[in-house]
Amino acid sequence: MSDQHSFLSGDPYSRYQAAEQMLNTAITQAKISESFEEYLEIFDKFYADEVEVSSETQHEPIRGKARVGSLLLNFLVPLHVMAEVGGLAISIKETTIPGDAANEIHSAWTLNIVGVSGKTCTLNWRALRKWNGSRVLYEHHYDLQRSGEPLTFDDLGFDMIGPVAGFQGGPG
């Protein structure tokens, strides 16, 4: 990832657009099947300490980098394990939605999850980010839609994992 302050020149609209593009590119290029830590590094680099995150399904926003980071970790770790060990194919795509406000940027996101069975679950949502300098100060998720059924244990490849050499299970 490049230096976060390299986009601070130019007019405010261009600066925030460049910051948004850098953040979204980092998110879409990270590989959840290889590591969840890269996403945490992205979060640490681009989000303000006093960040506030909300959605249309939450009654109260989540405030502070530590609380939002904890929520993010609780989402990323299981997703990483299911991708790395369970064989899920996971991809994420983003499309920026044109807008007028310099520091408020909307985007459309698609998370596609495919099980080893071939069954697919797709999540689509929109996000609004408000920037302050080089950091996201506020993020709101809205218009969440799911297509396909939720994946089940049968859609994971855990049964493809062989026994560990030298390990004997069972009552002992």
Is residue 119, in this structure, part of any structural domain at all? Answer: yes
Q: How many CB atoms lie within 10 A of CB 73?
A: 15
Residue 166 in any domain: the answer is no
Q: What is the pLDDT of residue 138?
A: 98
Domain with 105 in it: 10-157
Which residues 6+ apart lie within 8 Å of 139 measured at CB? 47, 51, 52, 53, 54, 127, 128, 129, 130
pLDDT given at position 8: 52
Question: Which residue's structure tokens are 């060990």?
Answer: 85
Would you state the pLDDT for residue 168? 57
CATH of the domain at 25: 3.10.450.50
State the chain's mean pLDDT as an integer. 89
Total tally of structural domains belonging to the chain: 1
In angstroms, what CA-CA distances link 85 with 28, 36, 72, 162? 21, 13, 20, 12
Q: Is 5 part of a structural domain of the chain?
A: no
As a whole number of angstroms, the distance between CA 120 and CA 151 comes to 7
pTM greater than 0.85 (yes/no): no
pLDDT digits (tens, 9 = 90+) for 81-95: 999 989 999 999 999
> What would the pLDDT profile of 33-77 be if each residue is shown by its tens digit?
999 999 999 999 999 999 999 999 999 999 999 999 999 999 999
Say which DSSP state 159 is in. G
Is residue 56 domain-resident? yes
